């Protein structure tokens, strides 16, 4: 069991390091990549537009890496938009436990339907249950019945890899405004 936990810890560390290195750049590059990911979400699911139009804000994480065996972890970085305007960076870390094996790369879109939910997210008070508010983009009309929980909904789009899982866990987010990010 200790070997399994050690392997999972190494996979998590590698995923976080790779995603951090990939994002070491100017805000304009981060914003460009986030907008490209958002366009890909819209291309996969035309029904997403109505949710974006109603949202007070949304975070786009173009590349999230996840992997493990029994214990899995992952992370990614992206940009927070308020009414379509980029306002800062977002870092996400994720940990899940249960029957799972593999590795996966995906894009994630976090939608905020209320000013209170967005304010809580920016204050680092947001922890989301994995799978609790998700819809998977990729098949037509997957967000048609998207439900918000406490003003938040998550849409994911697989980029690559294979992950088989029946697990529980969550995601934690950290927001940094562009003026405080030092970029």
CA angle 144, 46, 33 (to 5 degrees): 115
pLDDT at 98: 83
pLDDT category, 3, cuts 50, 70, 90? low
Q: Is residue 183 part of a domain?
A: no
Percent of the chain topping pLDDT 90: 37
Residue 16 CA to residue 112 CA, distance in Å, equals 25
pLDDT category, 27, cuts 50, 70, 90? low
Q: Is residue 45 part of a domain?
A: yes
* Phi and psi angles of residue 56, each rounded to the nearest 5 degrees, phi first: -80, -20
pLDDT at 182: 52
pLDDT category, 130, cuts 50, 70, 90? low
pLDDT digits (tens, 9 = 90+) for 57-69: 999 999 999 888 8
pLDDT category, 138, cuts 50, 70, 90? very low
Q: Is residue 128 part of a domain?
A: yes
Q: By the 8 A CB rule, do 112 and 154 touch?
A: no
Structurally, how many domains does the chain consist of? 1
Q: Which domain holds residue 140?
A: 2-178
Residue 108 CA to residue 162 CA, distance in Å, equals 16
Q: Is residue 170 part of a domain?
A: yes
42, pLDDT greater than 60: yes
Q: Is residue 173 part of a domain?
A: yes
């Amino acid at each position: 069991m200790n070997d399994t936990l050690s392997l999972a810890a190494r996979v998590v560390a590698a995923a976080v390091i790779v995603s951090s290195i990939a994002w070491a750049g100017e805000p304009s590059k981060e914003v460009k990549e986030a907008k490209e990911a958002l366009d890909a979400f819209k291309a996969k699911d035309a029904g997403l537009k109505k949710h974006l139009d109603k949202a007070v804000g949304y975070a786009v994480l173009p590349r999230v890496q996840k992997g493990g065996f029994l214990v899995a972890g992952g992370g990614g970085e992206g940009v927070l938009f308020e009414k379509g305007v980029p306002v800062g960076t977002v870092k996400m870390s994720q940990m899940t436990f249960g029957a799972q094996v593999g590795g996966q790369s995906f894009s994630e879109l976090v939608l905020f339907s209320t000013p209170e939910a967005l304010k809580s997210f920016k204050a680092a008070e947001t922890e989301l249950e994995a799978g609790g508010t998700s819809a998977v983009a990729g098949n037509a009309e997957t967000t048609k019945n998207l439900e918000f929980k406490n003003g938040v909904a998550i849409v994911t789009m697989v980029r690559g890899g294979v992950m088989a899982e029946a697990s529980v866990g969550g995601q934690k987010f950290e927001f940094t405004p562009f003026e405080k990010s030092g970029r």
